[in-house]
Amino acid sequence: MAKRTTSKSTRKPAGKPLQLGRPAPVPASPAAARLDRVANPHRGTNYLVRFTAPEFTTLCPITGQPDFAHLVIDYVPTQWLVESKSLKLYLASFRNHGAFHEDCTVKIGKTLAALLKPKWLRIGGYWYPRGGMPIDVFWQTGKAPAGVWLPDQGVAPYRGRG
């Protein structure tokens, strides 16, 4: 059976069961969200895990209008994997959160890096235009381990994405 734990930033006790396999509402904000992690069954093997969120939404902190992004998260795990349902709920918690593109992208990357302590993590935030200009934000923890296949994130430069 996989060990379970929650992030340090959670407001819920660490002993709570995983959100997987039971009803779990979308958290009201990223601060209220809980990310779960599970033990990596292939510790000692370098491999890449990719999550793609093509319908990420948040709010402009100035106008309150919705902003949309295509997020791609890649990481090389060590001891922990992020549990995907908790990640989906965490990302959905940004829907009513007001923050700039740069803040959202880097916050997600840093939160996952702190939770998982991976060998390497990168996030690409490919934001749809605001004021006629797309803003793409990239963050990573350092150099990827040698020998790990790092595919292109697969999001074309903006030319009317869709």
Positions marked catalytic: 60, 67
- Please state, in angstroms and rounded to a whole number, the distance separating the CA atoms of residues 122 and 50: 10
DSSP annotation of 73 reads E
Cβ burial 37-59 (10 Å sphere, 16+ → b, else e): bbebeeeeebebbebebeebbbb
Among 120, 93, 95, smallest CA distance to 109 is for: 120
